[in-house]
């Protein structure tokens, strides 16, 4: 009889423990946005359950405190009530078999503890936890009513312990939070994409596209622009005929400048050129036909820049630095390349890609950005506030303009997470800036 009572108490208390464990894991892991969607769009009981679940998950700290209180109390119940009944019953059973009392009591209590803890762990802890993880949404909806009743009835006790723990943490200089941050950061999303690619869930091309999409919102105009030194400008005093001749270079739009390159007067393109009669092109100046330039700050994020260009129906924007100088241009093609990679057509001037050399070395164009080098080679070089390109990194390390043969060494992080020393050798220069750089990985640190 005692054994039956003991087992009944153990299974009853274990069921209560399972409820609290399932509550804890279900509301911790549930997708809050999914609950919000159900609460606004579902009908009938499902809508009510979703609203209750959303309320519980919005007060997660309080709900978790209630779950912990329930788990603690049910564990005490097993120790104080279930094991004595089961242990005594087993001791009596052993006594009838002729086992001495002292021995039968010890064996009975030990067996009772083993049985009670095994049932608690399997049925009260691990089973509900795995169920909550596998059926998070369904379980959170199913438990919403009993959880609401429990938190309402025992709310004062839960608040007492919750407040006491919060004040204790405050004395230690730790501020408790009421709920978990469910928002994934760009770094979290990058890690998810990397893992999915490594496990074969995502193709390499698709994972690269997703990575570029995440980076797009964190990139500013200065990072995507064609720098001023590489921009073909036309003087405001030049004629439309001069612009026609410039079209042979493959470009379709040109910034128009005044007395100096920072004196932006506008932009002229094919549309403005063809509106001028052929016979008048040799006499009409560009200042007469140039369209007003769209000026944007160098710090403007690319999503904002794209929206402004779409709203203004512009194909080209002129980037202005913090001192009012002309820094470069950004076209819609530049923005597209930030998302999908290099786009080349028959009009584009050929630009070399990184070339893999023997011994793990690479030959890199100096104009490539540090993040582009990482994508191409797997070597993440140091980033800085005062440079964007690998040429800028070399000159920042040198502390002067570069010359062919210059060598600098920096620390880089490989794809496996290990740090490597990297020797950077300037192969050639153009306008005192490295045009081609050889990367030579050194031994792992």
Cα–Cα distance measured from residue 312 to residue 333, given in angstroms and rounded to the nearest whole number: 16
264-269, strands of its sheet edge to edge: 234-235, 253-257, 264-269
Cα–Cα distance measured from residue 379 to residue 393, given in angstroms and rounded to the nearest whole number: 14
Backbone angles phi, psi at 142, to 5 degrees: -65, -35
pTM value surpassing 0.85: no
Q: What is the mean pLDDT of residues 337-362?
A: 72
C-alpha neighbours within 13 Å on the C-beta side of residue 65: 23
Cα–Cα distance measured from residue 47 to residue 127, given in angstroms and rounded to the nearest whole number: 28
Residue partners of 60: CB distance under 8 A and separation at least 6: 27, 28, 178, 179, 180
φ/ψ region of 381 (left if φ > 0, alpha if ψ in -120 to 50, else beta) reads beta
Q: What domains sit in the chain, N to C, each tagged with a CATH number?
A: 2-171 (no CATH), 188-216 (no CATH), 221-340 (3.10.580.10), 355-444 (3.30.465.10)
Confidence check: pLDDT of 324 > 70 = yes
> Could you report the per-residue pLDDT of 283-299, keeping only the tens digit for each?
999 999 999 999 999 99
Cα–Cα distance measured from residue 73 to residue 16, given in angstroms and rounded to the nearest whole number: 10
- Per the CB < 8 A criterion, the answer to whether 319 and 341 are in contact is no
Residue 367: predicted pLDDT:
87
Confidence check: pLDDT of 348 > 60 = no
Burial class of residue 80 (count of CB atoms within 10 Å of its CB; 0-12, 13-18, 19+): exposed
Give the H or E element holding residue 442: strand 433-444
Long-range contacts of 349-354 (CB under 8 A, 24+ apart): 349/250, 352/436
C-alpha neighbours within 13 Å on the C-beta side of residue 405: 0
Look-up: residue for tokens 């993040």?
371
Cα–Cα distance measured from residue 213 to residue 202, given in angstroms and rounded to the nearest whole number: 15
Residue 306: predicted pLDDT:
94
Confidence check: pLDDT of 350 > 60 = no
Give the H or E element holding residue 11: helix 2-29
> Could you report the per-residue pLDDT of 173-215, keeping only the tens digit for each?
777 665 555 566 777 777 878 788 778 878 877 887 888 888 8
Residue 328: predicted pLDDT:
93
Confidence check: pLDDT of 404 > 50 = yes
Residue 103: predicted pLDDT:
60
Q: What is the DSSP string of 317-341?
A: EEEE-TTS-EEEEEEHHHHHHHHH-
């Amino acid at each position: 009889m005692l054994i039956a009572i003991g087992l009944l108490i153990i299974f009853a208390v274990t069921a209560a423990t399972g409820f609290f464990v399932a509550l804890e894991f279900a509301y911790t892991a549930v997708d809050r946005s999914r609950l919000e969607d159900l609460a606004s769009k579902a009908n009938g009981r499902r809508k009510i359950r979703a609203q209750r679940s959303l309320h519980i998950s919005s007060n997660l700290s309080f709900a978790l405190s209630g779950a912990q209180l329930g788990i603690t109390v049910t564990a005490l119940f097993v120790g104080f009530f279930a094991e004595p009944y089961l242990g005594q019953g087993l001791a009596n059973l052993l006594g009838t078999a002729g086992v001495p009392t002292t021995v039968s009591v010890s064996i009975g209590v030990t067996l009772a503890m083993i049985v009670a803890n095994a049932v608690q762990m399997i049925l009260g802890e691990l089973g509900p936890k795995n169920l909550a993880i596998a059926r998070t949404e369904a379980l959170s909806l199913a438990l919403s009513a009993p959880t609401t009743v429990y938190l309402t009835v025992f709310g004062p006790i839960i608040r007492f312990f919750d407040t006491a723990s919060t004040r204790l943490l405050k004395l230690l200089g730790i501020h408790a939070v009421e709920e978990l941050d469910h928002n994934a950061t760009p770094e979290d999303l990058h890690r998810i994409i990397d893992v999915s690619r490594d496990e074969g869930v995502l193709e390499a091309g698709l994972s690269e596209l997703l990575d570029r999409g995440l980076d797009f919102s964190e990139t500013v105009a200065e990072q995507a622009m064609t720098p001023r030194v590489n921009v073909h400008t036309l003087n405001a005093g030049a004629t439309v005929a001069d612009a026609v001749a410039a079209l042979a270079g493959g470009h379709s739009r040109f910034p128009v400048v005044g007395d100096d390159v920072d004196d932006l007067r506008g932009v002229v393109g094919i549309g403005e050129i063809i509106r001028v009669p052929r016979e008048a092109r040799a006499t009409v100046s560009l200042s007469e036909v140039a369209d007003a330039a769209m000026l944007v700050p160098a710090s403007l994020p690319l999503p904002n820049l794209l929206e402004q260009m779409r709203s203004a129906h512009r194909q080209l924007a002129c980037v202005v630095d913090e001192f009012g100088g002309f820094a470069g241009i950004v076209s819609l093609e530049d923005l597209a390349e930030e998302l999908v990679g290099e786009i080349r057509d028959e009009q584009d001037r050929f630009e070399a890609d990184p070339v893999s050399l023997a011994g793990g070395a690479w030959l890199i164009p100096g104009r490539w950005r540090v993040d582009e080098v990482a994508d191409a080679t797997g070597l993440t070089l140091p980033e800085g506030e005062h440079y964007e390109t690998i040429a800028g990194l070399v000159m920042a390390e040198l502390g002067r303009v570069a010359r062919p043969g210059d060598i600098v060494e920096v620390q880089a992080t490989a794809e496996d997470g290990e740090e490597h020393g990297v020797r950077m050798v300037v192969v050639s220069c153009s306008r005192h800036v490295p045009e081609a750089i050889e990367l030579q990985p050194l031994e792992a640190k």
